[in-house]
Amino acid sequence: MLKAVLRGLAAASLTALPLTVSAPAHAAKALPLTEAVAALPMGTESRDGYDRDTFRHWNTGTNPSDGCNTRAEVLISEAVEPPAIGPNCRLAGGSWWSYYDQVWVASASGLDIDHMVPLAESWDSGASSWTAQRREAYANDQDAAASLVAVTARSNRSKADQDPAQWLPPVAGVHCRYIGEWVATKLRWSLAADEAEVAALSEVAARCPDQTVTYEPVA
């Protein structure tokens, strides 16, 4: 009798509570670089209507209460020697390794935060159809280490909005890593690649048999 009563109370409590179902997490995927390049959706790119201001950045970052925007948070997370963090997230000291050009940087002011796949390139490749909220999430993506990278201002501005068919880091020894991170970012955000881009990616990938691309798709 007691068991029956308890079962009835349990059933009643379940029906009284709202049912919350969490969306399934997208599991991380890992592919050899050549397979990852082949997995990129092909498309014809268009820059019609592009405006950098449609990608809101830098926002308040992953911790709005710390006073640091996304740019500062990336600088802090990527510092080899941590900087001192002052009022209004002013950074002093610290050191960083700019992997594009293999240069040590001793001041945050000497660094840019590069979008691995530039905002204009993402627009060309599919972001033109996104909501403003998704573009903001892309422009401030700290959930994937490859999405945003602290590098010298010189190397970032040399790259500008070019894809790998037009620009690669000046140090050949980092090309495998760079291409892997480029492809990971495009796959993460379901961005397309055009023929010239895929050809350039494939050419580099053929020289990188040990490079693996790991990414977690964004819903």
Dump pLDDT digits (tens) for 47-88.
999 999 999 999 999 999 889 999 999 999 999 999 999 999
Give the pLDDT confidence score for residue 7 in this predicted structure: 39
Task: From residue 208, give the alpha-carbon distance in Å to each of 33, 50, 92, 172, 176.
Answer: 7, 34, 38, 12, 6
Can you give the residue range of the structural domain that contains 107? Answer: 24-215
Q: 3 lies in a domain?
A: no
Identify whether 14 is part of a domain.
no
In a domain, 2, yes or no: no
| Sign, CA torsion 89/93/95/100 | positive
| pLDDT of amino acid 72 | 98
Mark the ranges of the chain whose per-residue pLDDT is less than 70.
1-26
Residue 6 covered by a domain: no
pLDDT of residue 9: 36
Q: What pLDDT score does 134 carry?
A: 98
Number of structural domains (the chain) is 1
Whether residue 62 is contained in a domain is answered as yes
Q: Which residue has the tokens 């390794």?
A: 97
Q: Is residue 10 part of a domain?
A: no
18: amino acid identity, one letter: P
Phi/psi at 217 (5° precision): -60, 145
Give the SS3 label for residue 101. coil
* Helical pair 175-188 and 195-205, crossing angle rounded to 10 deg: 130
For residue 12, the model assigns a pLDDT of 37
Residue 70 forms part of a structural domain: yes
Would 5 be classed as within a structural domain?
Answer: no
